[in-house]
Structure 1
Amino acid sequence: MRTTSRTIGTRRTAGKTTRAVTALAAGALAFSLTACGGGDDGDKDKEDGPSGGTEAAPSVTLPKLDGASLEVAAVWTGTEQANFKKVLAEFEKRTGAKVTFVPAQDPIINFLGSKIAGGQPPDVAMLPQPGAIKQAVDKGWAKPLGAEAVKELGENYSRGWQDIGKVGGKQYGVYYKAANKSLIWYNAQVFENAGASEPTTWDELLTTARTVYDSGVTPFSIGGADGWTLTDWFENVYLSQAGPEKYDRLAKHEIKWTDPSVKEALTTLAEIWGEKDYLAGGARGALQTEFPGSVTQTFTGGDQPKAGMVYEGDFVQVNIGETEAEVGTDAKVFPFPAVGDTAPVVSGGDAAVVLKDSKAAQALATFLASPDAATIQAKLGGYLSPNKNVKASAYPNDVQRKIAEALVAAGDDFRFDMSDQAPQAFGGTPGKGEWKVLQDFLKNPKDVAGAQRKLEAEAAAAYGG
């Protein structure tokens, strides 16, 4: 066992560049999560139509497509895939079209490339990265959205969510699914037994981790077998510590990964990643744990799980649902703590992109841009929509409702997942690029300089110099 120690206040200056509105968004998120209870306010706002439990007229008019058929490709599996199929079933019911879900593999751009080369592209693909949308446009695969879909986006989405679906000024993507990726979930019984409290700063997080460890439970579960979970850890630390301006520059590779700000963030991460006793299974175990398992092992085993906390986005609720834990009572959540002056607000998402410019494909994009489609999946849980006209009462529990409200309240001022903005070769390919380098860093958190050199080499190759 090693004792975690650090000098309070040594990493405070960089965060001062954070804009006030970002601080307000983070503050709103913190207040929302700590103020909410765990109850299922199922009776709330029932007068609000489809989001409140009673039926209402559809908000979007769709064409009749009897006899039409189309394919939708996405990497979603399990409950997430099953819930999305219910949305597609509603589209079928309203239009008469037949929709087939096509399971895709990561990286989806490679999957689409093989399908297109074989002359069998899907009609619509759900792309998880702005970088992937740009690649699809650059390759000539993606088709601009039609007037009806663009109109629906304008009515339901903030300018920021519209803009990240644009390439060259044209709208290509409908961000159907969003993620609040600045959350840490915890086993409430573990915290109660340990006498641990929800932290608001990185220093307090380290104290909470020590308190949980001293109670006999390993503090953190990390799904290191999926490299994207590690990029998310880095992005939250970097955004809070270095500030949004540097975050934006690093995302565009306008500054190098050998920059001192990256060194500072990696050094901070090592305060947890370098404590082998703080990780379920140690670094080796973490690297063999996939994301779903990192969640379930935190909420299985009562008050003696394999770990007390797990970091990831709102979608963790889907995996918690596979255990006996109840969100809001057994499984609770707090915002990712502030490393600099303010807590980070990092978002991600999946966008519908049309690959075949047909009436049916454009109609599906229009439907996915409507509150009708998002409300269906919101009711099923484990899903978050950036659509501002999806009422909070659509979400199945108070925790998720507050997360959704905070995301919409942030408006245009959020930072999209950095690795998702990068070329897929760097930020979105298993076993390569940033995913692989951070997995190596988790294995050896002392080698900060080596990790920086590797990150810069991989980024330079992917960004083209």
Structure 2
Amino acid sequence: MRSTSSTIRTLRAARTAAAVIAGALALTLTACGGSHDDKSSSDKSSGSTQTGGATVTLPKLDGQHLEVAAVWTGGEQKNFKTVLAEFQKRTGAEVTFVPAQDPIINFLGSKIAGGQPPDVALLPQPGAIKQAVDRKWAKPLGAEAQAELAKNYSQGWQDIGKVGGKQYGVYYKAANKSLIWYNAKVFEGANGKEPKTWQELLTAAQNIYDSGVTPFSIGGADGWTLTDWFENVYLSQAGPEKYDQLAQHKIKWTDPSVKQALTTLAQIWGKKDYIAGGPNGALQTEFPASVTQTFTGGDQPKAGMVFEGDFAQVNIGETKARIGADAKVFPFPAVGAQAPVVTGGDAAVILKDSKAAQALVTFLASPDAASIQAKLGGYLSPNKNVPDSAYPNAVQQKMAKALLAAGDSFRFDMSDQAPQAFGGTPGKGEWKDLQDFLKNPTDVAGTQAKLEKDAAAAYGSGS
């Protein structure tokens, strides 16, 4: 995750589209529709299939075996296995999912050292793609995969899968990481309305607290959720230019803009009664539990709101809450001039070049594969040829439209752009520093100093 910046230096072509996306999201995010029939049809004999007018042709691969590694668990893993099963059915290849651990680069390193690398890996940090290329693990995409990618993806999504001008990654999965989900019964009981500004969010939190419910659930045991909090506040408050500079470490974490963002975050993190279990409880709560505890317990859940991306739907689905009715969502409120939009994603990268591996990545670049997982929920694709009807409800359809409406104008998750040692390793770097800040939100200066020290070491080494 995730959720969920390939070469840190090539990503800057992205432009923010916060106003466009937030506006589109705000229109009908809380609507809920029924499921739609999948309009894809498949020709099992030829391996040629159609979805939304697009066609992908796959070779026969009887007798071949593929291993695919990803840091996906629970419903996300189960749904992806459904996609792999379809590839297996169409080609005859045998496909095995390999559960990976964070950080996946370390996991892959041990596999490669042991002579058993998976054929394909889903890399959740674009910076990890560059590391895989630099270490000569990753293999460039072949002509068929590149053609499918060019047909279905905007240039911006293609570019973040490139290293040194060569295409290595296919962004199979995307995430809108600028959303706050809320328990509709709690909001109703607190006479709450969906906030559009940070101050309105603070007011809503106080109203929820006064109604007898803790306002926020935070999955602080997973440091990446805290980086997402920071990035949304920072992008909206400091603006896209500063965001890009900090993402590239062209300005230091001791910059006044970082102080301002941390001070703003402390308006929530610094109120222990606003956080389910207090800071210590949050630091023992993993992301899935932070979501489910917001939507269980009737009108007295452990919290009224939980911040995270569209992928939280998978966890909401594990409760009895109905998305669009019991569980609703609003865009992350504007802290500065406009609401932020932060995206993430997972890219398929080939580690063992073969006809079968190339065919699988070609399939993952097609609307066929994305439509299968879209129908299962908790998933967004940057593939522009996935039909709206592939998504199971109006909430997801609007999220997908908003994502695609940005075109090439988006801001990618900042921590995913950083070297993994800083932005993507449990117990280290930004993840650990923000966990410490959640524990002690009064230490803004100390947190900045630690962030800068860790960032300087990681960017200096490129690791």
Q: How far, CA to CA, are the matches of 2:380 and 2:388 in structure 1?
A: 10
Shift of 1:25: 2.7
User: 1:191 aligned to 2:187?
Assistant: yes
> Matched residues, percent identical?
80
Q: How far, CA to CA, are the matches of 2:249 and 2:291 in structure 1?
A: 32
Q: Structure 2 residue aligned with 1:57, among 36, 50, 64? A: 50
**Does the Cα contact within 8 Å between 2:16 and 2:409 map onto a contact in 1?**
no
**Does the Cα contact within 8 Å between 1:32 and 1:403 map onto a contact in 2?**
no
Shift of 1:22: 3.7
Q: Counterpart of 2:270?
A: 274
Q: Counterpart of 2:34?
A: 40
Q: Structure 2 residue aligned with 1:443, among 425, 439, 442? A: 439
Shift of 1:19: 7.5
User: 1:69 aligned to 2:62?
Assistant: no
Q: Structure 1 residue aligned with 2:359, among 344, 358, 363? A: 363
Q: How far, CA to CA, are the matches of 2:387 and 2:65 in structure 1?
A: 31
Q: Deviations over 1:73-111 (max 9, x none)?
A: 011111111110110011111111111111111100000
Q: Counterpart of 1:241?
A: 237
Q: How far, CA to CA, are the matches of 2:150 and 2:354 in structure 1?
A: 21
Which AA in structure 2 matches 1:215? S
Q: How far, CA to CA, are the matches of 1:21 and 1:427 in structure 2?
A: 23
Residue 247 of structure 1 aligns to a residue whose secondary structure is helix
Which AA in structure 2 matches 1:280? A
Q: How far, CA to CA, are the matches of 1:40 and 1:57 in structure 2?
A: 23
Which AA in structure 1 matches 2:257? S
Q: Deviations over 1:436-462 (max 9, x none)?
A: 000000000000000000000000000
Return 5+ residue gaps in structure 2 as ranges. Answer: 1-13, 43-47
User: 1:404 aligned to 2:382?
Assistant: no
Q: Counterpart of 1:330?
A: 326
Q: How far, CA to CA, are the matches of 1:149 and 1:246 in structure 2?
A: 35
Q: How far, CA to CA, are the matches of 1:49 and 1:354 in structure 2?
A: 26
Q: How far, CA to CA, are the matches of 2:366 and 2:171 in structure 1?
A: 11
Q: How far, CA to CA, are the matches of 2:19 and 2:211 in structure 1?
A: 34
Q: Counterpart of 1:203?
A: 199
Q: Deviations over 1:43-95 (max 9, x none)?
A: 7xx7x5469xxx97362001111111110001111111111011001111111
Q: Structure 2 residue aligned with 1:420, among 408, 416, 419? A: 416
Q: Structure 2 residue aligned with 1:162, among 146, 158, 169? A: 158
Which AA in structure 1 matches 2:31? G
Shift of 1:398: 1.0
Q: How far, CA to CA, are the matches of 1:19 and 1:399 in structure 2?
A: 25
Which AA in structure 2 matches 1:39? G
Q: Counterpart of 1:379?
A: 375
Which AA in structure 1 matches 2:263? T
Residue 120 of structure 1 aligns to a residue whose secondary structure is coil
Q: How far, CA to CA, are the matches of 1:365 and 1:56 in structure 2?
A: 15
Which AA in structure 1 matches 2:290? S
* Cα 1:367/1:56, change in 2 over 3 Å: closer
Residue 347 of structure 2 aligns to a residue whose secondary structure is strand
Q: How far, CA to CA, are the matches of 1:182 and 1:49 in structure 2?
A: 30
Shift of 1:24: 2.2
Q: How far, CA to CA, are the matches of 2:174 and 2:267 in structure 1?
A: 30
Which AA in structure 2 matches 1:123? D
Q: Counterpart of 1:8?
A: none
Q: After the TM superposition, which residues 191-340 of structure 1 pair with which residues of structure 2 at under 5 Å, given as runs?
A: 191-340=187-336
User: 1:454 aligned to 2:450?
Assistant: yes
Q: How far, CA to CA, are the matches of 1:391 and 1:57 in structure 2?
A: 12
Q: How far, CA to CA, are the matches of 2:283 and 2:41 in structure 1?
A: 42
**Does the Cα contact within 8 Å between 1:72 and 1:100 map onto a contact in 2?**
yes
* Cα 1:170/1:56, change in 2 over 3 Å: closer
**Does the Cα contact within 8 Å between 1:50 and 1:375 map onto a contact in 2?**
no
* Cα 1:235/1:310, change in 2 over 3 Å: same
Q: How far, CA to CA, are the matches of 1:428 and 1:310 in structure 2?
A: 22
> Under a length normalisation based on structure 2, what TM-score does the superposition of the two structures give?
0.93
**Does the Cα contact within 8 Å between 1:226 and 1:430 map onto a contact in 2?**
yes
User: 1:136 aligned to 2:143?
Assistant: no
Shift of 1:23: 2.0
Q: How far, CA to CA, are the matches of 2:397 and 2:205 in structure 1?
A: 28
Q: Counterpart of 2:102?
A: 106
Shift of 1:41: 5.1
Which AA in structure 1 matches 2:229? W
Q: How far, CA to CA, are the matches of 2:441 and 2:63 in structure 1?
A: 57
* Cα 1:368/1:19, change in 2 over 3 Å: closer
Which AA in structure 2 matches 1:28? A
Q: How far, CA to CA, are the matches of 2:251 and 2:176 in structure 1?
A: 26
Q: Counterpart of 1:429?
A: 425
Q: How far, CA to CA, are the matches of 1:141 and 1:155 in structure 2?
A: 26
Which AA in structure 2 matches 1:342? Q
Q: How far, CA to CA, are the matches of 1:347 and 1:393 in structure 2?
A: 22
**Does the Cα contact within 8 Å between 1:32 and 1:406 map onto a contact in 2?**
no
Residue 57 of structure 1 aligns to a residue whose secondary structure is strand
Moved more, 67-76 or 57-66: 57-66
**Does the Cα contact within 8 Å between 1:50 and 1:394 map onto a contact in 2?**
no
**Does the Cα contact within 8 Å between 2:40 and 2:368 map onto a contact in 1?**
no
* Cα 1:22/1:197, change in 2 over 3 Å: closer
Q: How far, CA to CA, are the matches of 2:423 and 2:34 in structure 1?
A: 37
Residue 441 of structure 2 aligns to a residue whose secondary structure is coil
Q: How far, CA to CA, are the matches of 2:175 and 2:441 in structure 1?
A: 28
Q: How far, CA to CA, are the matches of 1:289 and 1:89 in structure 2?
A: 33
Q: How far, CA to CA, are the matches of 2:382 and 2:59 in structure 1?
A: 25
Which AA in structure 1 matches 2:90? R
Q: How far, CA to CA, are the matches of 1:311 and 1:20 in structure 2?
A: 20
Q: Counterpart of 1:23?
A: 19
> Under a length normalisation based on structure 1, what TM-score does the superposition of the two structures give?
0.92
Q: How far, CA to CA, are the matches of 2:335 and 2:89 in structure 1?
A: 49
Which AA in structure 1 matches 2:414? M
Aligned length: 440
